Structure 1
């Protein structure tokens, strides 16, 4: 079946891109009364002003509200999970990888739960943070179809320069809210993002029709469920205490920060070098490790009995320290393992790379994992994260992300990276001279 997005239709914007860009510049600069704003659609102008009021950045990346594990659990329980195949069938028939658009389904808060469609479009939009788990509400990223559709509770189309965030302005999008078929409350949002084909009148009709079809399907499913014989009532489970959420921040730091939230409280504690290494190894080896293996990861395989004694003493001190600030994180023994999940900022970078959010991953990469540590396990994990970042960016990131990576400590002396950037730069780019000088300097040193 051919993709409904493969046939391009001419779109006649109400005003030129240049006029919209100038109006946007004036508004962001603080000139809210500039007459150029009269050239912008009222829907867009009002959304820009809401964006300013909510302090959405004109060039910021969206916050990643859901980790990979949180996203998976939340998606399974969300009402729209039952109709995701219908969304695919209606908006991505044929080969989704060559559809020319990205299709996203988000929740009522604007968080993207599914992002599917054209591989190249998803790769490029991932650089601006259009990925699963990211918050695309108006308050987070400003004017964009998913968030604006939720804010207005109606379908909208946002074309190129009409986006408040400059990183999003190369794209156009159409989105429509999905309602609970009985209460009419908003359940979520459907969005189609791409080029001009994503903002045709036909695109809006198709997205609107998909939202209505979903609402109808949800209602039919509920009526069928009610027609089934009722099962015996079960006692409602007691309310569980809020789950402990813990994050270990090790990127660019030798003294890690441990952030713990739960039961209405939040604590931030700085860990010494050895405790940071031990806790990081337990976070990396979530299935648990023996005392001998943990000793090898921290002290080296040839450290012998002395390392075992030292490890036991350090684990006693680590348990004592965690008991004071995060009792739920106190490690179990035989094997050593954590009873609750411990997220790390390094794992978050790896998760962002898996989702194609290259620009967001690079922004989150604050430096190497515990850079001064010589623990073998830490050195191995440090290389894993750094290599994963480099390979993902080299393979799929856009030129501006690669140039940003080349300006970091991790990419500054990378000849292959610099040569790739040079090959991608336009022939008359003013950045070519600087890159050539850096390449020649590194080649001379080699």
Structure 2
């Protein structure tokens, strides 16, 4: 949590000159910073005894929770988490979202970074405006309405001069209203040149997301109640479909795989876990986060991050299939499975496991009941055509005089020769 050695000592010397009532030379400190120092001094901030955020009058816990839950940035917080939190883990920095007054709505990062930030009161519900704390990146970004980076001794308050921060404002893409800032605060990582560029790129993604959520107040569907449950269909021929009460929307195979896996693992999945379930060829974390970002853009706020977890009720035709199996409706189960859709086509290890599970559940229930009609339907399906165990079970259950028994016995011999396995 210490400033990098790249911070020039002449900045600190200029700061000391400024506090002594002298005007630092123009080439010793950025004009952006010097002007902020002047505003901070004029606001009556004591650089030696300032208690960042203390004089802001924090809201009560209940009022604060209610306030941030309804803030415009609450809707895009999962996107910020998806794009930033995995990358900062272990880097000694925290990510903060503020409102337009500089109140910290969320401060996120690993526990050690958040604990260190708490020691300077960089915590949720404190206010880090320029008028309250003096020169700092989130406060200055709000004041000048553009992205800024503040390094070590450029801060006005002495207690925070061993920190670095980079922040950029977020605007409503339709009205242009200033909503708050996204900030990265911490040690050397927050002082790196790419830190501000990274924050700006996330702000751009957030504003695109906000724009995609903009509504036409004259459209009748704007005020229609949201469906309580969404539905995912993956077993039919053709693309997987997302149903949310409006017209069905086709999904890419990757997005359908992600949704199916998150529904299956309702407790949530980390980035690496999801990557492993999606591909056994080393799918990168960046690729996973990019797909999650696109999924949110297409479907809205349907999942959260760290871990990735669905935050809407989702049913699928896999659920329907499982219910048919559980209740012994085997013909209906075979028809619902059909040719398998995404389950049969996907190469994602996690989806292959789901396919293996439901197929084996169906076979086990079928063999347990000995239902000849179901066995006939199964061996006539794409999944049972080469199932030697099913053909053998059918042959054993049909009367010796039944014409289908001879066919079943012949298929057992054929499969035995073809695969060399007799069960």
Alignment TM-score, normalising by the size of structure 2: 0.49
